[in-house]
C-alpha cells in the first residue's frame, strides 16, 4: 500500500505540469494557425483591392479582358 501512495505522491506534481505544457503547446499551435490564416486573408484582401482599383480606373466601355492586365501567359 505504501508503494501506491509513493507513486501517487510522485505523480501529483508531474500531472499538472504535463497538462500545463500540453495546453501551452496547443495554444502555440493555434496562434500559428491563426497567423497563417490572417496572412492568407490579408493577401486575398490585397488582391481584391487591386482588382477593384483596376476596374475603377478602366473606361466603362472596355472589358477587363481587353485591358491586358489579366492575360494568362505561359512562363
**Residue 67: what pLDDT?**
56
60 occurs within a structural domain? yes
Evaluate whether residue 23 is within a structural domain. Answer: yes
d(CA 2, CA 7): 9
Q: How many structural domains is the chain composed of?
A: 1
Domain-located, residue 21 = yes
Query: 19: how many CB neighbours lie within 10 A of its CB?
Result: 10
Which domain covers residue 53, as residue numbers?
Answer: 2-67
| pLDDT on residue 40 | 92
Evaluate whether residue 72 is within a structural domain.
Answer: no
- Evaluate whether residue 74 is within a structural domain: no
At residue 56, the pLDDT reads: 73
pTM, two decimals, is 0.46
Each residue of 18-59: pLDDT tens digit? 778 888 888 888 888 889 999 999 999 888 888 887 777 766
Q: Tell me, what's the pLDDT at 70?
A: 55
Amino acid at each position: 500500500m505504501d508503494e501506491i501512495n509513493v507513486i501517487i505522491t510522485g505523480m501529483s506534481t508531474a500531472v499538472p505540469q504535463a497538462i500545463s505544457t500540453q495546453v501551452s503547446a496547443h495554444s502555440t499551435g493555434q496562434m500559428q494557425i491563426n497567423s497563417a490564416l490572417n496572412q492568407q486573408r490579408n493577401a486575398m484582401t490585397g488582391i481584391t483591392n487591386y482588382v477593384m482599383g483596376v476596374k475603377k480606373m478602366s473606361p466603362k466601355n472596355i472589358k477587363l479582358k481587353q485591358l491586358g492586365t489579366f492575360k494568362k501567359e505561359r512562363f
